[in-house]
Structure 1
Amino acid sequence: MEFHSRIEDLIQQFGADPSAGLSPDRSAELLAEHGPNELAATRRESPWLILLHQFMSPVIYLLLIAMGMSLFFREWLDAIAIAVVILLNALIGFIMEFQAEKAMDALRQMTTQSARVLRGGQITEIPSTEIVPGDMLLLDAGDMVQADGRIITSTSLQADESALTGESLPVEKSPAELPEDTPLAERTNMVYKGTFIRNGNAHVLCTATGMKTELGQIAHMVAGAQKSATPLEKKLESFSKRLIGITVVIVVLIFGAGVLNQVPILEMLKTSIALAVAAIPEGLPVVATLSLARGMISMARQNVIVKKLSAVETLGATTVICTDKTGTLTENRMQVTEAWLPGADWKQGAEPPAGEVFRLLRETAVLCNNATLNGDQHIGDPIEVSLLQFAGETGAEEGPIRAGFQKMDEAPFNSDTRVMATLHQNNGRFRVSAKGATEDLLEYCTAILKNGQPQPLTGADKKEWMDATEKLAASGLKTLGYASREESARPGEMLQELVFLGITGFMDPPRAGVKNVIRECHGAGIRVLMLTGDHPATAATIAKQLDIVEEGQKPVVTGRELEKDAGAWEGAAVFARVSPKQKLDLVKGLQDQHQIVAMTGDGVNDAPALKKADIGIAMGIRGTQVSQEVADMVLKDDAFESIVMAVRQGRVIFTNIRRFIIFLLSCNLSELLVIGLVATFNIPFQLVAIQILFINLITDVFPAMALGFTEGDETVMQKNPRDPRKPILSRNGWTWIWVYAAVIGGSALGAAFTAEYFREGETDRHAANNVLFYTLILSQLFHALSMKEPREKFLGGPVMRNKYLIGSIFLSAGITFGCLFIPPVAEALRLQMMPAIDWWLTLGFSAASLLVVRLLSGIFMRK
């Protein structure tokens, strides 16, 4: 049955006794039947599991196969080099993700809660885990609600349900029955686990505990929301499969060519294995991991905790950001933005209007108020806190006003009158100050203050002020009316013959800087969708102020509309009164359209969608523990602007990953082409296996790693997101890889043939081999400078400004030439000193390869 319907039926169903509560024996039976009142524990990844995940990658699988083949053929140096690469990659990834887990530990707040219940006719304090359905809970202001319950009796009860529903204001609660189809956010006779009592007290019948609470249902959805593989993981998997196919085909062709040229089969098999190892870019996982780790460290310095390395790149691929409103786009505090008075109006930022009515309204706002301001410490109801701030900002300080009036009595707000009133004494006179819902407050008013004098309140006046209230509410503001009365003698009844003073409008204001961030997202081709549990008018107003709704998009779509039509979300940017399940369904719907979805949130109600999204972003200050646990990233300072910083970082990282993949493959394929041509045409100056491995290590590690540290430029956030369905390398990308490989390989072979030609027919295999070896290395090092955008100037752009890349080229070249002067190394690599002409040929052909590549890319890529 629905717990917000008839209370008599509930009491009978649970066998409850509102006056005495459960007996100790009965509560023990129910505890055994229903279990402890706690949510299923969140599983934490152990360090060993984090380490194991570092080896679960298609490229790592490929390297493990290559290492196994090297061991089988006793190519020990190859096997050791690959093993070092794999272990280095795993170590870097483990350290970064383990540090992120430690940072998350600092955010987790582990507290033990207790609860007051009525048992055996006595008020008893018990651990919250021992609450059972049928218990009578006693709640006061400041308490966290420990279980779902139906209100039996209450006094001035208000609950903060923002973590559960997204509603930014405390909700007024009462025992009144409600229709069975009342949505969660409007069930004012229920309280829910995980929410807070802001004001008043209540006697509550516990209806659900543990995983059967509304909070528990959300925990179920969190557990059932399956995390999709990240775009980078999908792309690398596809890339690895294609690379395996290309490598197998090339190696088989080269093996066949060698056999046809009567090269011994065993020797050709070893060469083929060495070529297969050379073709695999073993530097890829290390460079990708280092690039992601650098982005992770950069974000950590800007108060963003990234829990998974892959999440850094995923945010760069984001096409849609689904964001909560309360506390994410707004400041999660109320603020008086307008005051409408008889004969005058005031808007935030304007000069206070002169006259008696505005003075009286401000004094009423301060006197009919139980909140206090103490520096940055604000104690009390958010509405009352904002009234004190409003009075202070307009020249009426709280301290002097309260010092001049002695409080004598108070009629607290309740669900029947919906009005609060206080009685104060000042210089022998008594003043009644009242505030409340305009339609109810007007019932107690007989006059209205006009031109400084009370005048009779007519029916037309009442209609005028009700219309004004509805107009403010339609613009998304919460409204309150104000009235007062002054007497020479103490009045017997406060709520009578009041003088109406006017109304004010309140709003949870947008966070500073968010509007510019949203504009930047739109400029980067990223849609921003706002999902909130708030009133549709409030959502529409905030969306308008922040420019969330773009031209051609629908107005606000409500949760009820989504219930009637599951496709109502198409083309909309603002969603109000949405449930946790509807948020989850929206994320699924977007992902079905191949969108990369980032979801931001801070409440428990956001948790299922945070987990399901491609990238979940939780708030670190206001965020609940549940939201932080399931998110991929946590914003420690709750700054929405950090998201755009992370998007930019992710885009730069993906561009760098694509850069060094193209660089690695074009370099490795150039080696395959050289060896393939040498084997096919039986050319005498072929490279030996150890030379192939040395070239691979020199060019695959330092320059590729440095490419991963290239900074972005000002155009990064001026482009649309890349299509998530496209592979990491397009057909055009593969074409250019072959072009680059052909230019590099052709330059190396050209230098070797020219060196042999200058010897006037003398055949010196070692000399030609050395020219081929050095030209291939230099051409590949120079090729790193070609990893630029087509429209960048030759000596400009991020690549040319990358000091790490320039340093890595000099370092790699220095190591290569230094090997000549270490006899054991030179002997192992078959190197010998070359004459000056050979060095000039090596340098000339290497430089020519760079110029040809830049010329070709400049001509064709620009088109």
Structure 2
Amino acid sequence: FFARSSPTVIISDMTALLCGSSKTHLGTQMPSGGSYIINAALEQGAQGASGDPMEVALLRVASQAGQGRDTLLETGKEVRKHAFDQDTKMMATVHREGDCFFYAVKGAPESVLEVCTKVLGRDGEQRLDATTRAQWQERSRAAASEGLRLLALASKRAEHEDGAPYEGLTLAGMVCLRDPLRADVAGAIAAAQAAGVRVVMLTGDHADTAAAIAREAGLGQGGHLNVMEGGDLDVLETETTDGSKVDGALRDRILSADVFARIAPAIKLKLAALYQQNGHIVAMTGDGVNDAPALKQADIGIAMGLRGTEVAREAADMVLKDDSVGTIIAAMWQGRVIFDNIRKFVVYLMSCNVSEVLIVGLAVGAGLPMPLLRLQILFLNLVTDVFPAFALGFGAGDDRVMRQPPRDPAEQILDGRRWILIAVLGGAITVTVLTAFWLALHWLMLPTEAAVTVSFLTLALAQLWNVFNVRMPGGGLFVNEVTRNGWVWGAIALCLAMISAVFWIPGLSEILNLPDPGLPGLVLAFGGSVAPLLIGQIVNRRTCLDAPFDAKIF
């Protein structure tokens, strides 16, 4: 997918930047019965600590307190569950405790604080006045600014199980989770930026948490980080799918943002469409059922393999087995290498084939004897064309492909510069072979059959050396991605052996009608074959001066 499409922006969930090994700390002492609150947050209560990293971290806290989920549910059966709501940013479970019901709530700190009227302290429940509420809000902001992911825990007891779950709650505390960056993330993002590709982070977490993690990962430009929250994007909820009604100022803010915090899954679809409307090629990650439309909308939809839902995997173009954004960057590098190898392959074959057509056509038009016979051309097509071309396809690539700007999706495999290169290389080989043929006839005074051998050898060797002319502009003359390709050297050695076999194995030279041209003819053929190589290197040098490798971030 990355060979076919060259993304200009990667929209990644924050979880793709993190290790997924959260360490949890409680902001307050666990109250009696408070494990209900933690265990209510567990979507998967496996004793093997499987599931979402945040849920696993909460499970460990509960286990350390001696209040496992199964044990609690034996005495406090769960009778009702209020699933997480993106609007309220909270969820709740209701448990029977004797003649009353215990409501356990978790959610975003700002949302939970807003619906709490009391707070659980060392001396029991106390009124949550404006001063205390402000103190908790400041604690939340301070923890978030350190890159901690936050959950607020609250509870209440009521006589009925069908009461309003988010009213009259008692704040029990906050859970702070620290999830370190993956080791390869900073380098991967730096590589993406060097390649002219923006990495934009999405998360449902607090904006301060997202900003701290984004700075650590190296997002933003010049040390400046643009952060937008979900509330700033409410207008997208009511606009058209492609965001065409978004006003210019808001559009510019959105397109320049590096981080989107407190984002609902539904907004991801609108964001992808908005970027596409403004000329971007979008790669987007997702793991939930609600992410499927956005993954379909993106040019390259990427599902998380470890925690992604089956729906997300089916909607995506590719699935990450390790859920890491570093793997996306590695795939982008591989895609660019593959596309560059395809271009090398095509340019090499086209320049060689063009030269064969021109050599025969121009010789006939000039009234010269045929410089190549049909069987000789067939032999060259099966030997000097095929094996070096295949070898180019196995190239490991050059790191400089990640310093090029993203490719225009409308750009063809053969663009204008490469058509010119094909014409120059094909023309250089043609002129060289015809010159060698003429010199063999009129300077060395060789018979026509021996002169044909000279033109055959000149073309065969020139086509072999031509493989070094398709290197990326700007690379070293002797050390570059082609000369580092062991397959190329193997192909050249194989082709030289097969060409030599034509003269060494009795009978083959007669079949191909290639008599010995003598030492002068061999020297002429070898010397002439080097000329197209020199011309190709000059062209590469001039191309390097005209097209420096400096990518700009879109």
Distance in 2 of aligned mates of 1:548 and 1:829 = 63
TM-aligned CA distance change 1:684 to 1:575, over 3 Å? same
Query: Residue 328 of structure 1: which of 10, 16, 20 is its match?
Result: 16
Name the CA distance, whole Å, in 2 between partners of 1:778 and 1:380.
61
Aligned residue type for 1:571: S
**RMSD between aligned residues:** 4.3
Specify which of 799, 805, 811 is matched with residue 488 of structure 2.
Answer: 805
Q: 1:736 & 1:407 partners in 2: Cα distance?
A: 74
Q: Pick closer, same or farther for the CA change 1:380–1:519 going to 2, 3 Å.
A: closer
Partner residue in 1 for 2:326:
641
Which residue in the other structure is 1:710 paired with?
A: 395
**Partners in 2 of 1:630 and 1:640 — Cα distance?**
19
- Is the partner of 1:570 in helix, strand or coil? helix
- 2:345 corresponding residue in structure 1: 660
The question of whether the paired residues in 2 share the 8 Å contact of 1:616 and 1:632 is answered with: yes
Aligned partners of 1:676, 1:517: CA distance in 2, in Å? 52
Cα offsets for 1:316-368 (capped at 9, x unmatched): x222212334x5345678754673x6xxxxxxxxxxxxxxxxxx448876687
More displaced, 790-799 or 590-599? 590-599
Distance 2:266 2:46 in 1: 40
User: 1:587-614 deviations in whole A, cap 9, x for unaligned?
Assistant: 3443344433222222222223323433
The answer as to 2:471 corresponding to 1:788 is yes
Deviation at 1:794, TM superposition (A): 2.4
Corresponding letter in the other structure for 2:16? T
Match of 1:699 in 2: 384
Deviation at 1:527, TM superposition (A): 1.4
Paired residues of 2:220 and 2:258 also in contact (CA < 8 A): yes
Which residue of the other structure, out of 165, 174, 181, is the alignment partner of 1:504?
A: 174
Give the alignment partner of residue 234 of structure 2, picking from 554, 557, 560.
560
* Offset of residue 419 of structure 1: 10
**Is 2:118 aligned against 1:443?**
yes
- Which of 404, 425, 430 lines up with 1:719 in the alignment? 404
Matches of 2:329 and 2:534, distance apart in 1: 37
Q: State the partner residue of 2:525.
A: 842
Deviations 1:122-145 (A, max 9, x none): xxxxxxxxxxxxxxxxxxxxxxxx
Aligned partners of 1:324 and 1:600 also within 8 Å: yes
Q: 1:398 to 1:788 in 2, by over 3 A?
A: same
Name the SS of the counterpart of 2:319 in structure 1. strand
1:729 maps to a residue whose letter is L
Letter aligned with residue 826 of structure 1: S
1:556/1:575 contact within 8 Å kept? yes
Residue of structure 1 equivalent to 2:551: none
Q: Quote how far apart the aligned CAs of 1:655 are.
A: 1.6
1:811 CA displacement? 0.8
Deviations 1:181-218 (A, max 9, x none): xxxxxxxxxxxxxxxxxxxxxxxxxxxxxxxxxxxxxx
Provide closer, same or farther for how the CA distance between residues 844 and 728 of structure 1 changes in structure 2, counting only shifts above 3 A: same
What is the aligned counterpart of 1:614 among 299, 302, 305? 299
Structure 1 residues 578 and 480: alpha-carbon distance in aligned structure 2, compared to 1, 3 A threshold: closer
Deviation at 1:701, TM superposition (A): 0.9
d(CA) in 2 for partners of 1:318 and 1:770? 50
Looking at structure 2, the residues matched to 713 and 704 of structure 1 have their Cα atoms a distance apart, in angstroms, of 17
Instruction: Map Cα deviations across residues 751-788 of structure 1 (whole Å, 9 max, x no partner).
Output: 2222223444xx62111111111101101101112222
Change (3 A) 1:515 1:390: farther
**Displacement after TM superposition at 1:528 (Å):** 1.9
Q: TM-score w.r.t. structure 2 length?
A: 0.74
Structure 1 residue 694, shift from structure 2 partner: 2.4
TM-score w.r.t. the length of structure 1 is 0.49
Report how far residue 515 of structure 1 moved. Answer: 4.2
- 1:138-183 superposed Cα distances (whole Å, 9 cap, x missing partner): xxxxxxxxxxxxxxxxxxxxxxxxxxxxxxxxxxxxxxxxxxxxxx
1:168-567 matches, cutoff 5 A: 311-314=1-4, 317-325=6-14, 327-330=15-18, 336=24, 339=27, 360-361=29-30, 370=39, 377-378=48-49, 386-387=57-58, 389=60, 397-399=64-66, 443=118, 448-449=121-122, 454=123, 462-471=129-138, 475=144, 477-480=150-153, 503-507=173-177, 509=179, 512-513=182-183, 514-531=185-202, 543=214, 546-550=217-221, 554-556=226-228, 558=230, 559-564=233-238, 566=243, 567=246
Letter in 1 for 2:454: V
Cα separation, partners in 2 of 1:632 and 1:410, compared to 1, 3 Å: closer
Q: Number of residue pairs matched? A: 490
Q: Whole-Å Cα distance in 2 between the matches of residues 587 and 376 of structure 1? A: 39
SS in structure 2 at match of 1:480: strand
Aligned to 2:163: none
**Aligned mates of 1:381, 1:647 — CA distance in 2:** 27
2:437 and 2:455 in contact (8 A); partners too: yes
The answer to whether the Cα contact below 8 Å between 2:211 and 2:225 also exists between their aligned partners in 1 is no
- State the alpha-carbon separation in 1 of the partners of residues 496 and 373 from structure 2: 20
- Deviation for aligned residue 1:534: 6.2
Which amino acid is 1:527 matched to? R
Q: Secondary structure at the match of 1:686?
A: coil
CA distance in structure 2 between the aligned counterparts of 1:837 and 1:588, rounded to whole angstroms: 68
CA gap of 1:314–1:363, structure 2 versus 1, over 3 A, is: farther
Counterparts of 2:187 and 2:459, CA distance in 1: 49
Superposition deviation, residue 831 in structure 1 = 1.7
Contact 2:255 2:275 in 1 (8 A): no
8 A contact 1:336–1:390 mirrored in 2? yes
Q: Is the 8 A contact 1:584 1:608 kept in 2?
A: yes
Structure 2: where are the runs of 5+ without partners?
A: 83-90, 107-111, 157-169, 547-554
Asked if the contact 2:236/2:270 (under 8 Å) is kept, the reply is no
Q: Structure 2 counterpart of 1:480, which letter? A: L
Say which one has the larger Rg. 1
Q: Tell me the CA shift for residue 510 of structure 1.
A: 5.9
1 CA distance for matches of 2:403 and 2:367? 52
CA distance in 2: counterparts of 1:520 and 1:638, whole angstroms: 18
Contact 1:539–1:556, Cα closer than 8 Å, also in 2: no
Letter in 2 for 1:664: L
1:318/1:390 CA distance change after superposition, 3 Å: same
Give the match for residue 768 of structure 1: 451
**Counterparts of 2:72 and 2:367, CA distance in 1:** 107
Kindly indicate whether the alpha-carbon contact (under 8 Å) linking 2:19 and 2:180 is maintained by their aligned counterparts in 1: yes
Change (3 A) 1:328 1:362: farther
- For 1:788, the aligned partner's letter is R
Q: Is the 8 A contact 1:530 1:574 kept in 2?
A: yes
